[in-house]
Structure 1
């Protein structure tokens, strides 16, 4: 049976994070949503997403296909229902399609908005990802679930005696290294993946996950619920933030209640505000409505799309959205919304020249021997550049 994770309308409300990936490739907790389903169902998956993403995230259709909504994180009840589906049966939650099992002919005509007869109604409230802030908001729940999933029946590697580990919910894969650090699990579990390093003097409070080949620099302070994805380097102060793979926040500065995409770089002494001076509700730029949207949150920081970067001492205001491939720098507070492929900051924004951005991206990829800036990657960024051109013009980005 083929497992196919499909995008629905959440793809539009999760922009800019989903400009460069399917919804199920979002990381929340320790794993991506796709990795969660694969581990629970003990099977690989594929994606049904935007056409320009399919070269990197292909779809596989067979004689027997299980379509699962990529914005839903699995739990025991949902897994049980999905596992019992017969061909032609579906599951819905509040009139939204969660999963359906289809033969090859019906699978080829699948659409996320289709209505299937006599659906099974899912009753329990699932963890779903609809808006970017849901990722840090619900990261605590998913960290705990993933920790249980990944550590069940296993024993942690033995860590150096120079560390202080408070509580019992600590797990390190073989090859994780830490010296002279404090790990407190009283507020949630801590998970260190293989080939990770936590440098001397670091203090971490769970829940927290450090994914493979990532490093935490000396004297870092991390509060839960925080996830550092693979191949990242992090320093300074971090609170309730999710950083995806291949991104760096290597120096002092505060990052809180935030989501940072892949291939991002945050300059030294950069800080983001996560609380307004008047304690009012935070609003975020919404791509679907092209306006500011109420989040219902008092604490909300920075949402940064893939390949975005900022210079030293950047000051991000409360509830700032930075689009894919943007380069932010200069004094003062930049706008709360920085369109994709923008160049500049508080003193004004220009369009980040396509060729210059692609040259930079190629240099960044060259630092990772196991990743190539191939045609599929180039196609995605080219499409995002074209898709967001009108948005830049509407927000005052002039051509440079």
Structure 2
């Protein structure tokens, strides 16, 4: 049921150090409560030849570039060749994949960025999973808590899928493109290869290989 939202259909698990975590679950939001404990478990096993222990439960690859103005709080793993730019704020329970870019004034918490993800300009990403080579345009953000503070549900066609979680941001599949100044409401799931127009307000499920133009207007991508 809800196969379009399953991890196996949206994520290349060879492109994340969190593969063994994600393999335990069917849907990506199920991973969110386990990110912190997984980092603590994995961090102890990382090679000292490849990673520096840069603070309390903070592991940074020796080949990563981290601006001196960045604020990084553990548990965190920052992968090889990743770039953490000026005034980035990493609040904890975060995995930054190999070659990923975390940009100026971008804030992350309780999030997995697969390899080559780009969140390069003024982004907020909380309680989210971003797949391989996904990209969030400048000013685009994930909203992770409902205004009434009730548990997040995911709208899938006419169904409402219960997550059992109070905080769920966005779950982006591989190669997703998010336009500038877009807001993804709590429990947004965007399938592999989908594109979202700038200035969008996205809610619920967006199918793979589609273009989200506005609420109620989602078209298949021409191949």
| Root mean square deviation of aligned Cα | 2.6
Which of 87, 99, 107 matches 1:219? 87
User: In structure 1, the residue corresponding to 2:126 is in which secondary structure?
Assistant: strand
Q: Is the 8 A contact 1:265 1:309 kept in 2?
A: yes
Matched, 1:273 2:169: no
Structure 1 ranges of 4+ moved more than 3 A: 12-17, 24-27
Q: Is the 8 A contact 1:16 1:324 kept in 2?
A: no
User: In structure 2, the residue corresponding to 1:138 is in which secondary structure?
Assistant: helix
Aligned length: 220
Larger radius of gyration between Structure 1 and Structure 2: 1
Cα distance per residue 1:248-295 (max 9 Å; x no partner)? 0011121100000001110001111100000011012569xx833111
Which of 2, 14, 25 matches 1:129? 25
Higher helix share: 1
Alignment correspondent of 1:237: 107
Inter-partner Cα distance in structure 2 for 1:26 and 1:134 = 19
Higher strand share: 2
Which of 36, 40, 52 matches 1:172? 52
Matched, 1:337 2:209: no
Inter-partner Cα distance in structure 2 for 1:144 and 1:14 = 31
Cα displacement (A) at 1:308? 0.6
Q: Is the 8 A contact 1:16 1:323 kept in 2?
A: no
**Structure 2: unaligned runs, 5 residues or longer:** none
Q: Is the 8 A contact 2:11 2:174 kept in 1?
A: no
Inter-partner Cα distance in structure 2 for 1:32 and 1:320 = 22
Q: Is the 8 A contact 2:64 2:83 kept in 1?
A: yes
Inter-partner Cα distance in structure 2 for 1:243 and 1:211 = 10
Inter-partner Cα distance in structure 2 for 1:138 and 1:272 = 19
Q: Is the 8 A contact 1:14 1:131 kept in 2?
A: no
Which of 193, 197, 206 matches 2:61? 193
User: In structure 2, the residue corresponding to 1:18 is in which secondary structure?
Assistant: helix
Which of 299, 302, 309 matches 2:167? 299
What is the TM-score when the length of structure 2 is the normalising length?
Answer: 0.88
From the superposition, tell whether residues 305 and 31 of structure 1 become closer, same or farther in structure 2 (CA, over 3 Å): closer
**Structure 1: unaligned runs, 5 residues or longer:** 1-8, 37-69, 72-127, 158-170, 174-182, 355-400
Alignment correspondent of 1:149: 45
Q: Is the 8 A contact 2:145 2:168 kept in 1?
A: yes
